[in-house]
């Protein structure tokens, strides 16, 4: 409500004034009424007294103004005159009787003359007509009742107050009335004094009103100031509260939740919604423990809450893992502050700052630190390993060097003492052998150091894995033959025609593994089993298992196997030799080719070394079912004795760039009866064949080496066919694979022969294409040992 | 290591004996060629020579030479690992230098002294 001290003061003053004026007027009126009543009573009493002094019977006798001077009159009026003389307030004292229903004076105590100087005779005479009688007089005359005027009446003789009392004769009959007129002056003066006194009382009332107004004004003004202060204070509090709420609600960094004693959420600011993903209306009324905490953290949180209610102090900030609505785990740095209200702690504010990023950085930092520590450890370990490697390397190098120098000394001494040739040869062999070992060792070290330094280049080109396996088997067959071991190549399932890898490195790995297998196998076999291992979402692997029936390995030995210079044990080293570097290199190479080497072995039960390399993208590469033992199958046995049975009566063009084979093949063909023309490359062969055709004498047969300079055999064959040559063309190739055969046939060849040249097979193959050939009997066949018997003796 | 004279299985062949002899007689020239090609780092020519030798040696009955020639050919075609090539060449030359005319003689096998070091024949 609006305070207006001025208005209130005016109201108060008016109210006080009104009350005092009203009460004064009331008092005045009451006093005046009492006074008037008393005055009237007094007047009426005087009128009755005067009426009692008048003799009614006598009074009736006065009927004519002539009786005015009579004694009767004088006697009758005497009491009235006496009364009038004794009372100065009586102005007129007289009697009136009705004559013909009109009031007429009878007696009059008023002395003659004009006392009031109004120009009219005061004294009335008998039977003077009473002009303008008032109503009271008429009632008194007609009804015989005493009457008095209510209020003074002004007439021509001034202000008077009149009373009338009846006059009766002895019989009680009404004969007239006594009229007493009092001068109203005293009465009026009295009333004026009373009015004055009343007015005088209004003066302090006015002062009182002013004082009251002033008092109210001051009081109200003070009260208004007080209220204003209170309102200002309340507004300040409200503004502060609003600022606080605004701060809480809109603080972007700090998620604030108001909690009661059980942890029930009462407040939930916007940052809480941002952090936890719940809207305020979704979580208010639920326990915060159930909303954001993992079950395992609830006990700890409850303990913290209890602590707050007990101590009433904020908690030490700590980190909590919390769950958000979408199930993510965040870390918050959180403190809970109790709110003291009226001496009790019943609510608390939980304030969270999201520190997930910091936490993640800490974790990453810790991971980096761990990784750093680990890499340091690895580096130290590598340094130690290198030192150990150098130590054993120097030992490995010193041993053969000592032997070389020692045998050189022996040779020098032999020269002095003329040692035998055989002894000298033995020393030289030992020097050579040790020198070779050193070279191999240095080769391996170079390989290894290049791998370690990551300077080894790896190719990725398409090549035939079956070729490489066949090549390796053919290369290692000498050694398996020397130890009387079986060596075979098999395939578990179809094999891609080509894979994308490094053929030289793949071959190097296989040679090492097969070499090891042979080295550690005394009897039995070494098998190579190739297969493709598909992998989900990645290129498939090509796996080759090298399976031997050798001494096998213990798990401990396997774990040491890939450490440089850690052969199974030193006795193994003595027995089998080797630095052990080959396996280390092989495994590194396999890793560089996207694969690995795995070992399955038991002592005494042989070993399987499985090498894998990434085969690359095989989409569109045809798969081939491979027959087992390609190398072995490539040389079907021929009866050597049949070779001499072949007679070739024909003209053959031999295209072969190698002089040795050219000579040998030409000799064999000529010996069988053929006429041979030789050509050193494809171009010359093509020219010769075309010339023969032009002369109308084409060759009966062309033997075509495939790998030749200038123009190779494939191209020469194609051109010959294009030229129209229809005779048989037999390819000569150093490769033994079926797809090589296919390549030759595609180029236009009829058949193919593999090198080395097998005499009988060659002649039979050629003969099969020449219808004119006839076997001829050979009497010398029985007496001459064949190729196979010779080979058998050598083995 | 193969450390004995190398003979052709065809040496006793009445038709081919002379050819084998000729092959053996020409062997020092081949060795010389191979060495010369290696010295001039002509790996392509070296690979070709090895390839021819691979095909020829077996044809002349010297089967043991073939894998060494094949190894050299493969190494030389790779064209990068000089150490490998030279090692393969040395192994090939070693066996080539040991080729002999005539049939094999069992009593000529020479066994190395075991005192020579840590390494057995490999």
Place of tokens 């022969």: A753
Please tell me if the domain spanning A251-354 has the same topology as the one spanning A375-451.
no
- Residue A188: per-residue pLDDT: 77
Mutate: best of B94, B119, B120, partner A, most A CBs <10 A: B119
Instruction: Provide, for chain B, the percentages of residues in helix, strand and coil under a 3-state DSSP scheme, each rounded to the nearest 5.
Output: 60, 5, 35
| Residue in the structure block whose two tokens are 């009786």 | A67
8 Å CB contact of A794 and B15:
no
Structural contact between residues A703 and A674, judged by C-beta atoms closer than 8 angstroms? no
Computed over every residue of chain B, the mean pLDDT equals 77
pLDDT at residue A630, rounded to an integer:
41
Per the document, the length of chain A is 795
Residue A238, CA distances (Å) to A135, A228, A234, A246, B33 in order: 81, 15, 6, 12, 109
- Cα separation, B112 vs B122, in Å, equals 12
Contact (CB<8Å) B52/A664: no
Shortest distance, CA B39 to any CA of chain A (angstroms)? 18
The answer to whether domain A458-631 has CATH 3.10.129.10 is: no
CATH code matching the domain that covers A375-451, chosen among 1.10.287.130, 3.30.70.20, 1.20.140.10, 3.40.50.300: 1.10.287.130
Cα Rg, chain A, nearest whole Å: 78
CATH code 1.10.10.2120 for A53-183 = no
Q: Name the residue among A407, A734, A790 with its Cβ closest to that of B9.
A: A790
Q: Check: CATH 1.10.10.2160 for A634-794?
A: no
Instruction: Give counts: helices (H), strands (E), chain B.
Output: 5, 2
d(CA A408, CA A432): 11
Phi-psi category of residue A178: left, alpha or beta, with phi > 0 → left and psi -120 to 50 → alpha: beta
- The pLDDT score that the predictor gives to residue A21 is 84
Q: Is the dihedral of CA A246, A249, A251, A255 positive or negative?
A: positive
Subunit contact B119:A429, Cβ cutoff 8 A: no
What ipTM was reported for this prediction?
0.74
pLDDT at B100: 87
List phi, psi (to 5°) of A558.
-60, -40
Residues of B in contact with A784 (CB under 8 A): 13-14
Span B50-73, average pLDDT: 85
User: Residue A591, SS3?
Assistant: helix
Number of helices (H) and strands (E) in chain A: give both, helices first.
Answer: 23, 25
pLDDT of residue A652: 92
Segment holding B6, helix H or strand E: strand B6-7
Chain B contact set for A578 (CB, 8 A): 119, 122
Identify which of A433, A476, A787 has the shortest CB distance to residue B112.
A433
Task: Identify any residues that bridge with A609 across adjacent strands, giving them in sequence order.
Answer: A546, A599
pLDDT (tens digit per residue) in A278-321: 998 999 999 998 888 888 889 988 888 888 888 888 888 888 99
DSSP string, A288-351: HHHHHB-GGGHHHHHHHHHHHHHH-SPPPPEEEEEE-TTS-EEEEEEEEEEEEETTEEEEEEEE
Q: Which residues pair with A574 in a beta bridge?
A: none
Based on its alpha-carbon atoms, the radius of gyration of chain B, rounded to whole angstroms, reads 15
Amino acid A530: pLDDT? 92
Judged by CB atoms closer than 8 Å, whether chains meet at A443 and B83 is answered as yes
From B15, B55, B84, residue closest to A661, measured CB to CB: B55
CB–CB contact B110 A425 (8 Å): yes
Q: Would you kindly state where each structural domain of chain A is located, as residue ranges?
A: 53-183, 251-354, 375-451, 458-631, 634-794
> CB–CB of B67 and A734 under 8 A?
no
Give per-residue pLDDT as tens, A673-722: 889 999 998 999 999 999 988 888 889 899 999 888 888 889 999 999 98
| Pick among B8, B15, B118, B121 to test the A interface (most A CBs inside 10 A) | B118
Q: What stretch of H or E contains A148?
A: strand A147-148
**Can the peptide bond before residue A756 be classed as cis, meaning omega within 30 degrees of 0?**
yes
Domains by residue range for chain B, with CATH: 16-101 (1.20.120.160)
- A721, β-bridge pairs: none
Low-confidence ranges of chain A (pLDDT < 50): 566-575, 630-641, 772-795
Domain A251-354: CATH superfamily, name plus number: PAS domain (3.30.450.20)
Which residues of chain A does B60 touch, with a Cβ-Cβ cutoff of 8 Å? 660, 664
Characterize the bridge pairing of strands A486-491 and A607-614.
unpaired
Q: To 10 degrees, what angle do helices B17-25 and B27-39 make?
A: 40
CB contact under 8 A, B118 and A757: no
Smallest Cα distance from A755 to chain B, Å: 5
Cβ contacts (< 8 Å) between B117 and chain A: which residues? 399-400, 402-403, 430, 433-434, 437
Question: What residues in B contact A756, CB-CB < 8 Å?
Answer: 55-59, 63, 66
Question: Cβ of A504 and B81 within 8 Å?
Answer: yes
Task: Check pLDDT > 50 for residue B109.
Answer: no
Interface test with B, best of A660, A666, A759, A762 (most B CBs within 10 A): A660
């Amino acid at each position: 409500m609006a305070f207006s001290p001025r208005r209130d003061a005016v109201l108060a003053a008016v109210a006080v004034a009104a009350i005092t004026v009203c009460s004064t007027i009331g008092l005045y009126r009451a006093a005046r009424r009492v006074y008037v009543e008393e005055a009237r009573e007094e007047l009426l009493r005087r009128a009755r007294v005067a009426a009692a002094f008048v003799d009614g019977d006598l009074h009736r006798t006065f009927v004519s103004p002539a009786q005015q001077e009579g004694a009767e009159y004088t006697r009758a009026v005497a009491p009235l005159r006496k009364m009038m003389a004794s009372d100065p307030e009586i102005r007129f004292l007289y009697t009136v009787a009705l004559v013909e229903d009109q009031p007429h004076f009878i007696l009059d105590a008023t002395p003659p003359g004009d006392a009031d100087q109004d120009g009219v005779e005061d004294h009335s005479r008998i039977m003077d007509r009473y002009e303008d009688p008032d109503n009271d007089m008429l009632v008194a005359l007609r009804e015989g009742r005493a009457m008095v005027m209510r209020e003074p009446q002004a007439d021509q003789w001034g202000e008077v107050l009149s009373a009338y009392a009846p006059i009766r004769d002895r019989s009680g009959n009404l004969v007239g009335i006594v009229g007493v007129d009092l001068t109203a002056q005293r009465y009026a003066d009295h009333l004026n004094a009373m009015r004055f006194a009343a007015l005088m009382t209004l003066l302090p009332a006015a002062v009182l009103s002013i004082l009251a107004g002033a008092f109210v004004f001051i009081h109200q003004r003070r009260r208004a100031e007080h209220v204003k202060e209170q309102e200002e204070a309340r507004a300040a509090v409200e503004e502060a509260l609003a600022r606080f709420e605004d701060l809480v609600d809109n603080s972007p960094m700090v998620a604030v939740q108001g909690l009661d004693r059980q942890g029930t959420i009462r407040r939930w600011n916007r940052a809480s919604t941002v952090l936890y993903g719940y809207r305020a209306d979704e979580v208010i009324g639920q326990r915060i423990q159930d909303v954001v905490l993992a079950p395992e953290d609830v006990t700890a949180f409850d303990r913290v809450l209890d602590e707050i209610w007990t101590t009433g102090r904020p908690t030490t900030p700590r980190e909590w893992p919390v769950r958000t609505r979408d199930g993510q785990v965040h870390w918050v740095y959180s403190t809970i502050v109790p709110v003291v209200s009226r001496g009790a702690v019943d609510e608390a504010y939980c304030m969270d700052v999201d520190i997930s990023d910091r936490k993640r950085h800490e974790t990453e930092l810790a991971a980096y630190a761990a990784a750093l520590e680990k890499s340091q450890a690895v580096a130290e370990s590598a340094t130690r390993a290198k030192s150990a490697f150098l130590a054993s390397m120097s030992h490995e190098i010193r041993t053969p060097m000592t032997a070389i120098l020692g045998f050189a000394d022996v040779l020098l001494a032999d020269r002095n003492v003329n040692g035998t040739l055989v002894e000298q040869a033995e020393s030289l062999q030992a020097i050579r052998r040790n020198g070779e070992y050193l070279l191999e060792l240095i080769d391996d070290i170079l390989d290894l150091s290049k791998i370690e330094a990551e300077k080894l280049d790896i190719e990725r080109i398409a090549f035939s894995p079956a070729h490489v396996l066949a090549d390796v088997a053919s290369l290692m067959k000498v050694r398996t033959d020397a130890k009387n071991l079986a060596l075979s190549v098999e395939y578990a399932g179809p094999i891609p025609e080509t894979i994308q890898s490094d053929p030289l490195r793949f071959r190097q790995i296989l040679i090492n593994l097969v070499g090891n297998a042979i080295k550690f196998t005394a009897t039995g076999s070494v098998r190579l089993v190739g297969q493709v291992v598909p992998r989900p979402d990645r290129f498939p692997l090509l796996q080759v298992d090298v399976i031997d029936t050798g001494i096998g390995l213990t798990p401990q030995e396997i774990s040491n196997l890939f450490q440089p210079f850690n052969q199974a044990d030193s006795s193994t080293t003595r027995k089998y030799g080797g630095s052990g570097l080959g396996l280390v290199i092989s495994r590194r190479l396999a890793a560089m080719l996207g694969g690995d080497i795995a070992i399955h072995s038991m002592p005494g039960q042989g070993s399987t070394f499985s090498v894998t390399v990434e085969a690359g993208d095989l989409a569109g590469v045809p798969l081939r079912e491979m027959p087992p033992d390609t190398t072995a199958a490539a040389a079907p046995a021929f009866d050597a004795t049949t070779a001499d049975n072949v007679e070739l009566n024909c003209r053959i063009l031999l295209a072969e760039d190698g002089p040795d084979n050219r000579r040998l093949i030409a000799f064999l063909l000529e010996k069988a009866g053929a006429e041979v023309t030789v050509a050193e490359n494809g171009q010359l062969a093509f020219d010769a064949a075309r010339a023969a055709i032009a002369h109308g004498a084409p060759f009966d047969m062309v033997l075509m080496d495939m790998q030749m300079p200038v123009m190779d055999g494939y191209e020469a064959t194609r051109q010959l066919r294009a030229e129209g040559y229809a005779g048989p063309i037999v390819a000569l190739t150093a490769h033994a694979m079926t797809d090589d055969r296919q390549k030759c046939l595609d180029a236009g060849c009829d058949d193919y022969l593999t090198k080395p040249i097998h005499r009988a097979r060659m002649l039979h193959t050629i003969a099969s294409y020449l219808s004119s050939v006839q076997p001829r009997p050979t009497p010398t066949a029985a007496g001459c040992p064949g190729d196979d018997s010779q080979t058998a003796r050598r083995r | 290591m193969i450390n004995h004279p190398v003979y052709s299985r065809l040496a006793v062949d009445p038709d081919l004996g002379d050819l084998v002899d000729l092959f053996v007689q020409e062997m020092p020239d081949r060795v010389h060629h191979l060495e010369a090609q290696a010295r001039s780092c002509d790996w392509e020519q070296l690979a070709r020579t090895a390839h021819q030798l691979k095909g020829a040696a077996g044809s002349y009955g010297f089967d043991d030479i073939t894998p060494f020639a094949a190894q050299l050919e493969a190494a030389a075609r790779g064209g990068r690992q000089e150490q490998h090539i030279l090692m393969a060449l040395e192994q090939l030359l070693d066996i080539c230098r040991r080729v002999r005319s005539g049939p094999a003689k069992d009593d000529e096998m020479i066994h190395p002294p075991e005192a020579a070091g840590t390494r057995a024949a490999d």
